Structure formats: C-alpha cells, structure tokens
Structure 1
C-alpha cells in the first residue's frame, strides 16, 4: 500500500514567509497548513479514490476556501495568487496528489469565479469550497493542446441542428483529452467553438454537469505518475442556455484569464517538490556512510547540495514575484497593456524556471541516493515521476520561452 505523506525528513523551510511578497494573512495560512499537511495519511494506491479523499480532507480542513472568493464561502475577498502559491508549495512538498486535488478545485472553478453569473456562482462555488463538488477544466483536445485555435469541439445552437428546438439551447459535440479529474468531477468548465470560422474569437465556455446525457467520461488515461485523467466525449450533449459561461464567443479570453491566475501556482507546485527533494538529499547525505565518513563530508556532495539550494531559491523568488505582481495588479485594477504583459511574462518566467529547476534538483537528489534512488517506492523516485508533467501542462516550457522572448523583443 502506498501511503502519502510519511513524516517529512525535516520540516520545509519557512524563512521565505518573511519576504515582503507576503502579508499576515499569507503567513497565517502557510503556518497553519504545515502541521495539517504533515499529519495526513492517505492511501494513494488508487489515485482516483485518493483524490476524492484529499478533496474531502482539504474541504473539511478549510483549505479549499482559498479556491473561491469570500462571497461564496471563500477565505479571502478574491482569488489570491500568493495564497494559492503557498497552498500548492506546501501540499506538493508532502504529496503531489494532494496538491493536484487542491489545484484542480481552483482551476476547475476559476472560470465560474471570473465570469459566472450570480446563479452559476451560487450553484457551484460553495460546493467547491467545502469539497462537496469536484471541479474540472476541459480545454485540451487530441489535436489542440498549445494550439487552442485548432479546437474542433463544437457547440451549436440546438435550433440550428434540430429546427423546432428552443433557440436558447446548445448541442455539444466533440472530445476533450488529458482532462484532470476526468470521470471524477461533478462538473466541467468546457470550451468549445461556437463560430468555427472565427478561430480563437469563436470559442465559448460552458458548464457541463457530469450527469448530462451525451457526456462520456469513461476512457481513463494512465500516465507515469498517479493523476486522474480522462478523455471526454460529447455526442449531441444538450445544454440549456444557462450553461453558457461568460459572454458568447468570449471563451478564449476567459481561458487565458483563468490560466493567468493559476500559472504561478504551477511553479509553486514544482517548488514544493524541489524543496522536498533537497530535504531528502540532505537527510540521506547526513546518514549515508562510506569510506569511514558520511556522504555529507565529501566536498563534491556539499557542492551539489549548494547548487540544488540555489536552484530552489531562484525559482522561489520568481514564483513569489509573479504571484505578487498578479495580486497587486488586481488590487489596484491596473489594466494598462504594458502592466498586463509584465504580469504574464513574470508568470511565464516563474513557470519555466521553477519546473525546469525542480527537474534538475530532483534528478540530483536521485543521483545522490545511488541505487536507492531508483528503487520503486522511495520518495525521490516518486518525485522523479511526479515532476515531469509539470514541464508540459498549463503551457509547456517552450511556450513560456516564446512568451518571454516576444516580450524581450518589444520596443
């Protein structure tokens, strides 16, 4: 049996909480979450059952309240990137699956927070905050990952497809894949073409309940690290007009706004995994004896640990800066294009650097463990598998490089 979150080899560092990026509310959150996360014992042998368990625990603990605004049961007045960063960093340190469960509650309902009407927000957001409802975000397709304009899932007016039907309803047809919480979620925020000739300007968003006739989420996908994924198929999936989320044809901008909030938190998840790998490496180096001394006594080990620590801290600073810039921009309602670009570039830098650095740190930690590092069931072996996907989802490293590069070339 694989049980998540055994006692950590040493507590994750908290010195970063003193940085000026955070205020008292953030510090209270982080210091309260640390002992709670360390005390959880979840059987993660079945990733789907474990994800349900984590959502229930996170909801009961009050941590999912940071995924929705206060008006609908949340902990803070609005979605706060720094709170999400601290949540994900701490949870990922203990269990990447716990981080996943928490993150998807926010990402899966984020579009409703941003663009939902009062009835939609009242119906879904309190359940997300309590853990009663599991959320999912459905954007990617077999031929439309980074290239969102290639989306083929269609949402047609029901009157158009079946004359005589109500003109204010839709028929959804197509498929989505690599959908986190697929087959597990109670509802999906689905993006589909409502004007096939308009590219990204012809995409709209819809809320689709899991029990909607015509939705099939039974094709589960299995990947290298535990992660509930599925392909969604829509066959004449009938949606009422009330399922439209945000303005008609406004789905692409809504998807970008949602991802903008959570991109820095992906960096934080990588940061949490990197911190755990460094802690595991330090503990192992102190205990492992060879040639009459500990592994930590060798200068080569010290140099490697120093490099790992620098990689962690550099990723942390970029991650916290990105979250701070996003929160400050929202607070002051700045909408100048240059400032929006600055926030997007900061998030891209954080996501790229934190995920790539974490991959390097975890690889170094595994190397320090020698043969024990590749033994199935060891923490560094699990982290080695867990980290790989973060360099791809919510914008692959290459996409982040393009965002940064184009910004650098701006006059």
Structure 2
C-alpha cells in the first residue's frame, strides 16, 4: 500500500512481509453461502491477536489504576504501574512476578483496556493495547490471546490499521462498509482455534487501540485514529448485499493496477461468482504500485520453489496462461523435457513464504528471462479483488461519496443501511 496514502509504513508493509488472503497457509477463503438474507449482524467478534508472533510468554502491565486478573475465576490483583508475566506451564498457564510464581490455571481474563500487552522475540518487541475483554489460554504450541470486541470497534480498528489518518473520509467510509461485510460474512473463520478472525492480513489487519514495535533499534507505532472511529460510526451497520439480500463476499486490495478480478481467480477457489466480476479502474493510475518491476536470481528461485530443477542449467520459468482480462492463471517450469505447472495462487504462496512477499506483488505480471536473472513486471499490489484502496482514495479526493465508490467496485451489490434489515 502506498506510503501515507495507504499507510505502507505500517499496515502496507505488513502486506509485504506477512501472508495475505491468497497466501496465508491454507488462506484461500473457503466457499461459503454466507448468512441468510436479513440475518442480523454479529454484535461482538473474537479476534485472535499476536497470531503471527506465536508467543510463549507475554507481559501484562497495569495502567494508573488497580487491575484484577481473573485466573479460572480466581481474582489476582495487579497494582497500578506493576506488571506480571504470563507463560505456558505444564498444565496450562502460570503468572509470574519476577522469580515468584503467583498462580497457575488454564484461562486468564481481564478487561483489555486495563492492561498493556507486550511480547518480545530475539529481534522484535511488540506492545499492544486493546478494548473489550482479553483472554489468554495455552494452545498446543504457544499462548493464545483473544480479544472480544463489538463489531463496530473491530471495523474502526481495521480502518485505522489500513489507512493513514489523513486519508479522505469517504474512502474510509467505503473501506468500513467492505470490512464490515467481510466480517459479517466470515464469522468463525478460525472457529477451530477458538476465535472468529486472526489479526493478520490472512483475515483483517487488527492492531487494537494502540501499538508499538521495536526492531533493529527502530520504533514504529500508532493508535486508533479519529478517521477509523468516524468511518465506523458514520456507516454503522451498513453492509453490501446482493439482489437476493445475501451479504456480498466483499474484499479490498491495496491497488488493483487498472482491473479487479474475482475470488475464484485470485484465490484459486474454483468458485465462480456472478456478483463479484472484476471491473476496470482508471482511478489508481497514479498509485505507487500501479506498475512494478522485480528481479530474482533464477537458481535462487528454483531452489525455493522447485529444488528438483535447481541443478538443471537450462531450467526456465514462464507464465502458463492468463484469464481474458490478463490475470495469470499459472506458471510453468521446464528443464529439458520435464515440465511442472503450478497454479498462480500456489506459485505466489511458495515464493512469498520462501523468498518474501515483496517479489510477486499481484496476480497480473509477466516473466522475462535475462541471463541468470528473471525479471517480473506487473500491475497492482495485493490480490486485486474488490475495493481498490488507491482508487477509492482518488475517487474520494475527486468528491465522490463512499456509496458511489462502492457502487463502482461492486456494481451488482447495494450498500444497505441498517433500516433495511
């Protein structure tokens, strides 16, 4: 996402570093019918937080007033300005202050606004503040933190994480409606793990009320913005619905590069949709990622995705096919008479996991051989499905209302106010 327009310094960079919808493990969205027409929106959501960090231990720090932690319904007092550690224990979790173990149990709950959560790794330290209820349990391999919040608070937090506070309000309003529609349509995506959504771009980028990160001696951070709060409040309850009243399976992308596509193309779900066909977009042409060029050493790429071909001196990689509107459907690797074809979503997933998410930025690109290098030239940033944030910002700057922006990117859906439910 473009710097300060789409907050590349924090949220957009996470899209480069971490898997997003097309690439997070088995992150391709499952085919789903969605809630029935007229179904009520969920009042609260459970967000798994610090999911990418997978902490073995966290620190909870109290603010300026006494805080009560509830460990298996037993109260544990935390005095103002004091902190405790929560760590995995043989039978669940343990609370520590210094070298003293205070108590053990299986589930910790606390009013999220009363504490600051901090987690440290070898090179990175993160600090988060949330609203709602925070619970901590011991997962199979790491601590599991879940924040329970009202739907509208989650919408505000996602908008704050994705857009600069200086972004146009109408663009933020359009994003809020899309985020709310996605959340309402995918409740329980991580139900098997005990929450509805994760906090990474696999689901929705969610940092909470305040966040800070220290890495390599550098600090970055931010807070829930007025823009995010106003976007959620100004569109409260509004979602995208299809002709029959079903929720639209709505997504957003950083920059579509002149054309959006469908979930079936981007995610490889094989599920065609008559209501989510792509649209042409002339609004993001000035975006930083409207076009892009990357290069990679051929042997490095071969070792990363197809090590069995890496030793071949004549190995080649080429685009195997396109959709009629130019999106890559697959790539083919060849060495002599041997050919291996990979679906595009699988290719991007493998490259992202093994060589980083800053190499194949979108689903529209060409591959050009240049000696020992392969040069990739593409258009757009992200999966290119749904609302184009770069285009939405330009439309808002041109004076367009958020519902007009939504109508442009979702021509077969309607933005429905709460009174219509």
TM-score (norm 2): 0.24
Q: Which has the higher contact order (CA 8 A, sep 6+)?
A: 2
Whose strand proportion is higher, 1 or 2?
A: 2
Whose helix proportion is higher, 1 or 2?
A: 1
